[in-house]
């Protein structure tokens, strides 16, 4: 379990990164920022800070903030209720993010998952994203990503987000 103090520190750092990226948030968006530790209690290594602008039955828009070396664990967005899984486009706004998807493994990848969870990371085609870079993930695509040395701010544009239906390789993860 992550302490309230650690959550608040992560939230404040995320707000600093968002300001650095030139992203202005309303007070209610600041108040509703999610600090996700995926139920692991390891926020510095396995975590993500999220601001949701909109998520309805047609589309979703979010800001994802990664602290340096912070990893969003490997997961996919499967079909839900007869609808295809979430398709998402990531656009790097600030810092560097290392995105990993299925395909030919990249020799000498720049990121590494938390060592004690490495067995739960199976896709190794690396996409290095810097400000202005964009990448679209089709539905039901295994992926994971990690903040670079400064961390990163990534805008996500997607079809409807159903986080509770996400499937993670690591069985210990609880998204909601």
pLDDT in tens, 33-71: 999 999 999 999 999 999 999 999 999 999 999 999 999
Averaged pLDDT of the chain: 96
**Could you read off the pLDDT of 115-133 as tens digits, one per residue?**
999 999 999 999 999 999 9
Nearest Cα neighbor of 98 from 138, 120, 127, 131 is 127
Judged against a pLDDT cut of 70, whether residue 176 lies above it is answered with no
Per CATH, is 4-168 categorized as 3.60.15.10? no
Contact 91, 117 (CB under 8 A): no
Between 68 and 175, the more confident residue is 68
Which residues, in sequence order, are CB contacts of 69 under 8 Å at separation 6+?
A: 44, 45, 111, 146, 147, 149
Q: What are the boundaries of each domain within the chain? A: 4-168
Between 167 and 163, the more confident residue is 167
Other Cβ atoms closer than 10 A to 104 = 8
Question: Alpha carbon of 5 to those of 12, 35, 43, 151, 174: distances in Å?
Answer: 11, 12, 12, 20, 21
Total-model pTM? 0.96
Over residues 80-101, the mean pLDDT reads 96
Strand partners, 145: 72, 99
Q: Which residue has the tokens 């400000």?
A: 131
* Whole-angstrom distance, CA of residue 169 vs CA of residue 114: 14
Q: What is the pLDDT of residue 174?
A: 86
Over residues 103-117, the mean pLDDT reads 97
């Amino acid at each position: 379990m992550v302490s309230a103090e650690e959550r608040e520190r992560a939230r404040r750092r995320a707000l600093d990164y968002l300001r650095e990226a030139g992203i202005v948030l309303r007070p209610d968006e600041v108040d509703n920022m999610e600090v996700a530790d995926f139920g692991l209690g390891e926020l510095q290594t396995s975590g993500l800070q999220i601001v949701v602008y909109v998520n309805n039955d047609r589309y979703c828009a979010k800001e994802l903030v990664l602290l340096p070396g912070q990893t969003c664990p490997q997961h996919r967005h499967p079909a839900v209720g007869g609808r295809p899984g979430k398709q998402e486009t990531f656009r790097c706004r600030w810092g560097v993010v290392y995105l990993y998807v299925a395909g030919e493994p990249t020799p000498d990848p720049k990121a590494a998952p938390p060592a004690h969870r490495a067995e739960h990371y199976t896709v190794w085609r690396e996409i290095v994203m810097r400000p202005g870079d964009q990448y679209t993930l089709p539905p039901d695509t295994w992926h994971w990503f990690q903040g670079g040395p400064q961390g990163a701010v990534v805008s996500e544009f997607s079809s409807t987000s159903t986080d509770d239906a996400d499937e993670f390789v690591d069985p210990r993860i609880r998204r909601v």
